[in-house]
Amino acid sequence: MAKSKTFSCSACNASFSKWAGRCETCGEWNSLSETAALSTGPGKKSLGNTRGSTIVLSDLATNETPPPRTLCGVGELDRVLGGGLVSGSAILVGGDPGIGKSTLLLQAAAQFARTGVKTIYVSGEEATAQVRMRAQRLELSQAPVQLAAETNLRDILTTLEAEKPQLVIIDSIQTMWVDNVDSAPGSVSQVRAAAHELTSFAKRNNISIIMVGHVTKDGQIAGPRIVEHMVDTVLYFEGERGHQFRILRAVKNRFGPADEIGVFEMTGRGLSEVINPSALFLSERGEPSPGSVVFAGIEGTRPVLVEMQALVAPSPHSQPRRTVVGWDGGRLAMILAVLEARCGIPFAGLDVYLNVAGGMKISEPAADLAVAAALLSAREDTSLPADTVIFGEISLSGALRPAPQTENRLKEAQKLGFTAAIAPSGGKSISMKGINLRRVTDLTGFVGDFFGAG
């Protein structure tokens, strides 16, 4: 009996029983491709007696220790991983082309190998001679890392079974080719099959596998999210081409906190970790100017100070521009609407530009008050004090909500020489020597106190 064929959409991952030119779920054209069935894998006996059977949760030992972790010595990478590398874990690292993913992982492989971890670096995009040239440039040529250039996944798994490494780096998952899938390398079927086989191999043999995933023009890992739910940890390597800063962000982590970040600086000898990212992001900040505000934020478990820059100018167009870099454009529209509806400050006929300095991307709502302050400072052409940090969330009613971890934000500001802070009232009372904390109850009062309007 012939096996039924299935087709999947490369944009939304929906499955269909027959091919069509247009996906009925997301509407994309020419996005359906045939999906071949994956291998069934080894039998029950080879994986132990518990496969296919059930275990009562209450029968599990309560004194089991957490999974052991291995530190590589790169503090920022260990932080993002949640305290080190967990044995038997599958990790996906995504980022734009040329952002430094291969450089980061080659440096990490060298550090792990120097600590005694048997490491194999498999490149599907470069020859071993090219990888060796990069290692010489990074002064890593003496590291005991085993190199391989191969794209056939069957050959790779056969080699790994013979070598029995502790860490494997696959660069990249889009170049891997599974011979039982009838599609081109890089397609949805190939990426899904390769990620499934590598993840299963990692769990079965208790080794760690790091896979590199390319990012599409929409900013998503190509393939598109079929790999993310298979792996244990998803890391994004971010950065602007015009800046030397690079940010490694944990989007998903089964063994540690998500949204944790590690900050690196791109140099001529590769990536160097940044111990104090707040000082780095504020290093280029000059004299106080209208539209410049320092925001005390929290990224994962780390407080980070960044500069919010705003520019408000008369618009020559009938439809004013709203341009945002490093923040949510929808949230900017909400802040502008609240300023107009609750404080009587219109932005009609004005172009608004907002930028987070240093290539940083901010997502937490506590940046609302800093954005509003930057917009008002640019609109009124008034500079706020250079020694002041601002944070707080704005509601649609114009009320201000306190931000979590206020004490950690103030400690980071004090460490960098700031002497004043503006934050919403409410929450627990905090008294810190050297920091003049000024509490505000709503946006109208904040506008009146600092800009004389509203």
**pLDDT by residue (tens digit) across 21-49?**
888 888 888 888 776 544 444 443 333 34
- Contact predicate 352/333, CB 8 Å: no
- The dihedral region occupied by 41, where left means phi > 0, alpha psi between -120 and 50, and beta the remainder, is left
Which residue, 88, 82, 255, is CA-closest to 165? 88
- Contact predicate 264/273, CB 8 Å: yes
- Contact predicate 234/215, CB 8 Å: no
Examine the pLDDT at 453 and tell me if it is beyond 80: no
> What domains sit in the chain, N to C, each tagged with a CATH number?
69-275 (3.40.50.300), 280-451 (3.30.230.10)
- pTM for the full model? 0.76
> In whole numbers, what is the pLDDT of the chain averaged over residues?
85
The pLDDT value given to residue 183: 83
The pLDDT value given to residue 144: 93
Examine the pLDDT at 184 and tell me if it is beyond 90: no
Where is pLDDT greater, at 63 or 162? Answer: 162
Give the span between the Cα atoms of 163 and 180, in whole angstroms.
Answer: 24
- Range of weakest confidence among 211-225, 295-309, 342-356: 211-225
Residue list for the binding site for ATP: 95-102
Give the span between the Cα atoms of 137 and 140, in whole angstroms.
Answer: 8
- DSSP 3-state assignment of 216? coil
- Range of weakest confidence among 54-58, 272-276, 357-361: 54-58
The secondary structure of residue 2, as a DSSP letter, is P
Mean pLDDT of 319-334: 94
In order of 285, 288, 311, 321, 414, the CA distances from 354 in angstroms are: 16, 17, 7, 11, 26
Mean pLDDT of 309-326: 93
In order of 344, 378, 398, the CA distances from 341 in angstroms are: 6, 19, 9
Residue 318 burial class via C-beta count within 10 angstroms: exposed 0-12, middle 13-18, buried 19 and up: exposed
> What's the pLDDT band for 400 if we cut at 50, 70, 90?
very high
- Contact predicate 226/13, CB 8 Å: yes
**pLDDT by residue (tens digit) across 77-86?**
999 999 899 9
Residue list for the binding site: 95-102
Examine the pLDDT at 2 and tell me if it is beyond 70: no
**pLDDT by residue (tens digit) across 339-358?**
999 999 999 999 999 999 88
